[in-house]
Structure formats: structure tokens, C-alpha cells
Chains A and B, each alone.
Chain A
Amino acid sequence: MAGMLTRSLLILLLVSGEAYANFTINMPSGVTDISHKVFQLHMVVLWICVVIGVLVFGVMIYAIIFHRRSLGHKASNFHENTKIEILWTVIPFIILIAMAVPATITILEMDDVADSDLTIKITGYMWRWHYEYVGTNVAFMSDLSTPYEQIINRAEKDEHYLREVNNPLVLPINKKIRLLMTGNDVIHSWWVSELAVKKDAIPGFINETWTKINTVGTYRGQCAELCGAKHGFMPIVVKAVSEQDFAAWMQAQQQITVEPHQ
């Protein structure tokens, strides 16, 4: 505990360095082209803000240090200067346009769901996710698999505490996957930050978005819209596999699903 505390305080003091190697302080750059773009956009806007902040606060700190009564500074009597006032209206406006252009391009790209290779229908329930591979008979519920003992602190918490499920969503890499989202009862929101996908699952609506994963791996997220008592307990696990592995997995799933009916 004390160790953690010291470590936390250290981070606050040393914003750079190795101290925070164990946990992230920034948005992940993710594993899709879109998530990289979103990350870059985030960083660009962040740095613009940092630069403006340094300049504006710099002027203020200068005034605080040098224009104080205790140094004998006397107040000047200037006010209203149309030139300056026009400048500080126009310059921010130009900066905003510079931000809006790449943002608009990215939005249009994110909303373009055409030409997908595979469609998954995601339904939010209180409090679990249902995945349906549209056009096949593969469909299943995905529930939190963290044992209750861990939640009530009667057992050691494992590495992926609250972010592990019994049936992950298995997706192939390098394929454009269309994601359809809806809610069965209340509004949920499906969020995996490595994919830069977050979309509300709303009863009566079918929302769509898409992703194309570049890297094999397991990506974790959770419901982002308050949906009742167990809102914090409906995680999302996406297992991205190679195309061959995906084909093999689909075949196995179809057998499992089909068998009971034979």
C-alpha cells in the first residue's frame, strides 16, 4: 500500500521517466488504422493546447512575478485595443480550422461501413453482451468470468480482474468487420479502446460502425454507458486471430451450435 502510494506520488512529480512503466497515462494508439488516426488527432490537439497554455500562462506568470505591488510596480492605465482584440479572436479561429480538417476526414472514414467482409451483431443486455455472426448460425452470450469471491475480496484478484469473459468475441485480422449494435433493455455502450470503437447499443435502434484489426492479440474493454447495478461488470474481450485460425474457429463453432438440433 505504502509502496503504491509512493509510486503514485512519484508519477505526479516525475511526469517522464520509468516510474510509470506499469500503467498507462495516455490513450492507447491501438491496433487499427483508425485507432492510430484517432490517437494522432488526440496528440495533435493535446500539444496545441499545451503550447497555447504555456504561452498564455507564461504571460500571466510573468505579470504575477514582475507586476506586483510588493516590487513597487505601478498600474498602467491601458484598456481596449481593437487590433489585439481582433487578433486574439482570429488566431484561435484559424487554429480551430486546422484541427477541424483532419477531424472531419477521420469522422467520414469512421462512418464509412461499406464493403465489409463480415458482420457481427452486438446486443447489450443487463448485464452481458450477445454476439451474433450475421449470416451464420454462430451466436453466443459473453459473460463476466471473474469469480465473485474476487469481487468481494475473498480471493486474490487475477491479472484481468473484471476484464475477462467466458466467451470472447473472436475476430479475424485484416478483414473489414461491420459491427451492428443494439440494446435489449436499456442503453449500453460497447467500448474497446485499442480498436477506437465506442458506440451506444440502444433499444429500438441498430447503430453501425466498423473495425479492421491489424494485429493478432486480445483486446479488452467494458460497457461505457450507465446501464444499472452491474454496469461495471459487463466486460468485452475481443480475440483477434489470423484468418486461418478464424476459419477453423468458425467451423468448430458451427458444429457445436448445429449438433443439438440433429
Chain B
Amino acid sequence: MTSAHSHPGFLGFIKRWLFTTNHKDIGTLYLWFSLIMFFIGGMSAMLIRAELFKPGLTLVTPEFFNQLTTMHGLIMIFGAIMPAFVGFANWMVPLMIGAPDMAMPRMNNWSFWILPFAALILISTMFMDGGGPNFGWTFYAPLSTTYGPKSTDFFIFAIHMMGISSIMGSINIIATILNMRAPGMTLMQMPLFCWTWLITAFLLLAVMPVLAGVVTMVLADRHLGTSFFNAGGGGDPVLFQHIFWFFGHPEVYIIILPAFGIISEIIPTFSRKKLFGYASMVYATMAIAVLSFFVWAHHMFLTGMPSVGEIFFMYVTMLIAVPTGVKVFNWISTMFKGELTFETPMLFAIAFIVLFTIGGFTGLMLSVAPADFQYHDSYFVVAHFHYVMVAGSLMAIFGGVYYWLPKWTGHMYSETLGKLHFWLTMIAFNITFFPMHFVGLAGMPRRIPDYALQFTEFNQLSSIGAFTLGLSQFVFVYVIIKTIRGGVPATAKVWDGAEGLTWQVPSPAPYHTHG
């Protein structure tokens, strides 16, 4: 067989990766890109934690500290987590539904190759005159309009590019899932990962234009003399928050729904038992997606909404606990009376269920508006969203990588090293983020470079945990590279409990499958 995908030399390398329209290549590119961004975002987190190791300004200036928190948030959300899930979708959706490739391979190429340039533009702002964006990833006006640094315009452009990339990616995923399923596979027979991604893609289509709109309004306020968000010109700073969070809350579910999908693949495999309630999982995902459009103002309880508004958004936010509970109960019922083994993907999936549920509990606490007045903008919130985004999305990503790595590379990873990575991550994560609940409740606001003395001990603990967490990720990189280079050959099925079309193609999955 002549392999169309091997080109010698540098030019060959460019031809292979820059011009590729193969869903597996593009999936791989997304995943590597995400890993690099994860380390860049992680580096800014390490600097933040180093500064917060003790009271007083020690390492960085408050101005630079604000740039670090902004960059950390933007890179982790738009650079690390979202592209990782798109990478999984590219690799796995065609394999799972029996399609030879994505529906629109050329657009697929484009939607990936926009990303590295967007990321470069975003990162380059840190080196610009006046510094990078320093208003937090939420870029509230008028801090980002009237008071934003010059580089804000580059930030806006980068966000636009990432948005275009996401929209094209989601169009592609929707078209693939709706049109290219193997004959006889109905929607309700698809693996749950495809379902969660289908719903996520619709969420992306709905809210990315809203994000594009709000950054464009910021741009207009900065340069075209408009006053959308400028009270001095008759505008409304709170309007910014309404538009931003109308994007921002569905975005939260964009970041978690594909993780639900991955966990729903892993748990049945290692429990050797069918997912307890497939249909109710699908409906719960839909319910979460629909509700996500009606809860945005719970991020704005302090802006002085009328009581009725506070009450409405509190009720709808609380309601999200119901479908989320359904998911958790389903996973646990799947494990119950199963035949459990604890390979690395399963360990990450179990950690996901426990820690994500803790994040869900604090989310429920945050939904209670009067109590939110105390939690809001404190470290309690920082703890909450790291429990859902790191222990939630990121651990699902780790689990997914270990779960499918043998299918991608044809080699089994080292279980010992995988477990080492798991336990280091699991312990360090909790040492880092659990104490943040305490300092937040005790009154420490988020996004401050220096703090009152009563917060010292817990901050030190967090910093020590964070450095451990950061270093542990080198184990992950080592495992990946080692597995790509060689190892025990993987069978087609890889896991004895695995089911579905994915596990019928050989490992590594051939360059062209289901042709």
C-alpha cells in the first residue's frame, strides 16, 4: 500500500500537516496545539501562584499580574480546553459513526490553521507597548474600553479568529453527525460522545456570534466614537455583562458537555455494563443546553438587578442541578454491580465524577442569590470553576487521551506511568484548589496580587499544590511521547469492555477508515 501521508523532508512535513484534510491528522494537530497551549497557560498559572506564595509584592507588578490572570483564563479556555475537545471530535466522531472523514475536510483544515495564528496574536500582546490585556478574561467594560491598553485591539482580533474557527468546526461536526452516519445508525444509537458534541456544536453556533458581537462593540467604543458601554455617552456598562454572559454561560457548557460524553464512553467500558440510561442521558444533555440560555444573569447578581430578576435567575440556575444530577446518578448506576477494573482512563473518570460533583455542589451554593452576594468574585468562585473546569473538563480530557491513545498510536501506554500521572494530578489538584474555598469564604477576593495576612497559610498550600500539579504534567507528556514511539501493540478492541464501531477498526486506526 502506498501511504499517501508520508512525505520526506521539510517540504514534505509542511505538505503533510499544513495541507492535510484528513480528520485524523487534523485531530492530532488540534490535540498537540491544545497541549502546547495547556503548558503556556500553565506557566502563567505558575507565575500567579508564585506571586501569591506570600503576602507582599514579590515577583511581578500588579499590572503584570492582571495580564497573567487574563492570559491564563483566555489561553486555558480558548487555547487548551476547547481545541482539545475539537481534536477528540475530529478523531473520534468519524470513527464512531462509521464515516470516512469529516463532512467538510477543507474547511476542517482551515478551522484548525486559524487557531495557531490567533494564539500567536493573543500571546504577542504580552510583549506590546503598554502590556497585554489586563482586564480579566471577562473583559468588562469600561475597564476594557476606556481604560484598556492598546493591545486590546489585537486581543479582539484574536477572539474573532478563534470564534470563526469554532463556528467552522461546529458546522463541520453537525454536518458530519447528521449526514454521514453509517447506514442503519439512528441518532439514538450513536455513542453518547457524538450526542454531547452535536449539542455542543449547536451551542457554539448560537453563542460564538454573540461573543463576536460584543468584542466588536468594544472595538467600536474604543475607536469609532460609539458609547455602547460608556455611561458618559449615554451607554450602559451593564449591557456589556448581559451580552458577554449570554455567550459566557452556554460557553461553560460548551466546555463541559463533551467531557460528559467522554466519561459516558469510559465508565461503561470499564464497568463492562451498558450505560444505565442512554435516553435519559441524551435528554439531560439537551435540558442542560436549553437551560444554559436562561441563566446568564446569575453572573450578575451584584449589578443591582430588580428582585424579580434575581429570583428568576436563581430558580433557573438551581434547576440545572436536576439534569446534572441525572447524569451523575446514571454514571454511578452504570458502575453499580458492574465488573470494575481501574485502568488509568477509569481512574480519571471516577475522579471526574467525584470532583465535578463537588464543583456542582458549590455551583448550587452559588445559585442561591443571597449567599452568592458573599461568594461572588471571591476565591470561593475560583475554587468552584476550577473544580468544574480542571477536575471536570481537563480530567475528562486526560481520561480520553489514555482511553483512545492505543487506538491512535497502536501501542499501549505504560499503565504504571499513567497511574502515576493520575495520582499526582488528583492529589495536587485538591491541594491547590480545595483551600481556595476556605480563603474565599473568609473574604479573599479573586484577581488580587497581594492579600491580607490571614490568608497566608492557605495560599501557600495552594501554591505548593499548583507547582506539583504543574510539574506532574511532564509525566503526561512523557507517557504520550513514549507511547507514540513504541510499546506493547494494541489490539483492535484495546479494552475488553469496549463496544462500538471505533473498536472494530485496527489499532492504530488506518489513515483512511470506513471507506
User: B340 near A23 (CB under 8 angstroms)?
Assistant: no
User: A8 near B458 (CB under 8 angstroms)?
Assistant: yes
Known A23-B442, A196-B374: A63·B336 in contact at CB below 8 Å: yes
Please tell me the size bucket of the interface on B.
35 or more
User: B337 near A85 (CB under 8 angstroms)?
Assistant: no
Task: Kindly list chain A residues whose C-beta atoms are within 8 Å of the C-beta of B447.
Answer: 226, 231-232
Nearest CB in chain B: distance from A203 CB, A: 4
Task: Kindly list chain B residues whose C-beta atoms are within 8 Å of the C-beta of A85.
Answer: 277, 280, 326
Q: Is B154 an interface residue (CB 8 A)?
A: no
Secondary structure of the A side of the interface?
Answer: mixed
Q: Is B204 an interface residue (CB 8 A)?
A: no
Nearest CB in chain A: distance from B511 CB, A: 35
Nearest CB in chain B: distance from A86 CB, A: 10
Q: Is A216 an interface residue (CB 8 A)?
A: no
- Residue on A with the closest CB to B240? A187
A70–B346 Cα distance when bound, in Å, is: 15
User: A64 near B350 (CB under 8 angstroms)?
Assistant: yes
User: A67 near B338 (CB under 8 angstroms)?
Assistant: yes
Task: Kindly list chain B residues whose C-beta atoms are within 8 Å of the C-beta of A222.
Answer: 445, 448
A62–B445 Cα distance when bound, in Å, is: 39
Known A5-B460, A45-B368, A198-B374: A103·B339 in contact at CB below 8 Å: no
Q: Is A223 an interface residue (CB 8 A)?
A: yes
A107–B274 Cα distance when bound, in Å, is: 45
Nearest CB in chain A: distance from B47 CB, A: 16
- Residue on A with the closest CB to B69? A226
Known A56-B332, A233-B450: A79·B274 in contact at CB below 8 Å: yes
Interface residues of B in 340-368 (CB under 8 A from A): 340-342, 350, 353-354, 357-358, 361-362, 364-365, 368
User: A157 near B377 (CB under 8 angstroms)?
Assistant: no
Please tell me the size bucket of the interface on A.
35 or more
Nearest CB in chain A: distance from B292 CB, A: 17
Nearest CB in chain B: distance from A106 CB, A: 4
- Residue on A with the closest CB to B496? A69
- Chain B, residues 20-59, CB within 8 Å of chain A (1/0): the string is 0000000000000000000000000000000000011110
User: B236 near A89 (CB under 8 angstroms)?
Assistant: no
- Chain A, residues 35-60, CB within 8 Å of chain B (1/0): the string is 00110011001100100110011011
- Residue on A with the closest CB to B323? A89
User: B143 near A226 (CB under 8 angstroms)?
Assistant: yes
User: A25 near B438 (CB under 8 angstroms)?
Assistant: yes
User: A103 near B277 (CB under 8 angstroms)?
Assistant: no
User: A96 near B319 (CB under 8 angstroms)?
Assistant: yes
Known A70-B341, A161-B452: A56·B441 in contact at CB below 8 Å: no
Q: Is A129 an interface residue (CB 8 A)?
A: no
Q: Is B426 an interface residue (CB 8 A)?
A: no
Nearest CB in chain A: distance from B273 CB, A: 5
Interface residues of B in 287-346 (CB under 8 A from A): 302-304, 306-307, 310-311, 314-315, 318-319, 321-322, 325-326, 328-329, 332-342
Q: Is B217 an interface residue (CB 8 A)?
A: no
Q: Is A76 an interface residue (CB 8 A)?
A: yes
Nearest CB in chain B: distance from A218 CB, A: 14
A104–B311 Cα distance when bound, in Å, is: 6
Contact among A59, A100, A162, A227 for B451, CB-based, below 8 A: A162
User: A227 near B307 (CB under 8 angstroms)?
Assistant: no
Chain-A contact segment, one of B9-17, B134-142, B160-168, B170-178 = B134-142
Task: Kindly list chain A residues whose C-beta atoms are within 8 Å of the C-beta of B147.
Answer: 126, 185-186, 228
Known A107-B307, A226-B136: A46·B357 in contact at CB below 8 Å: no
Task: Kindly list chain A residues whose C-beta atoms are within 8 Å of the C-beta of B364.
Answer: 45, 49
A225–B142 Cα distance when bound, in Å, is: 12
Known A80-B277, A226-B135: A60·B353 in contact at CB below 8 Å: yes
- Residue on B with the closest CB to A91? B325
User: B310 near A232 (CB under 8 angstroms)?
Assistant: no
Task: Kindly list chain A residues whose C-beta atoms are within 8 Å of the C-beta of B451.
Answer: 162, 232
Known A24-B442, A85-B277, A232-B448: A75·B304 in contact at CB below 8 Å: no
Give the interface of A toward B (CB within 8 A): 4-5, 7-9, 11-12, 22-28, 37-38, 41-42, 45-46, 49, 52-53, 56-57, 59-60, 62-64, 67-70, 73-81, 84-85, 88-89, 92-93, 96, 99-100, 103-104, 106-108, 110-111, 126, 150-153, 157, 159-163, 185-187, 189, 191, 193, 196-200, 202-205, 207-208, 220-233
Give the interface of B toward A (CB within 8 A): 55-58, 61-63, 66, 134-136, 140, 142-143, 146-147, 231-232, 235-238, 271-280, 302-304, 306-307, 310-311, 314-315, 318-319, 321-322, 325-326, 328-329, 332-342, 350, 353-354, 357-358, 361-362, 364-365, 368-371, 373-374, 376-378, 431, 434-435, 438, 441-443, 445-458, 460-461, 464
Further contacts, 8 of them, CB under 8 A, given A53-B361, A75-B337:
A12-B435, A37-B370, A53-B357, A73-B337, A73-B339, A76-B338, A89-B322, A232-B448
A-B contact pairs, 20 of them (CB 8 A): A45-B368, A49-B364, A63-B337, A63-B338, A64-B340, A68-B340, A74-B339, A79-B277, A79-B278, A80-B276, A85-B280, A96-B321, A163-B452, A191-B443, A202-B231, A203-B232, A226-B143, A227-B143, A229-B62, A231-B448
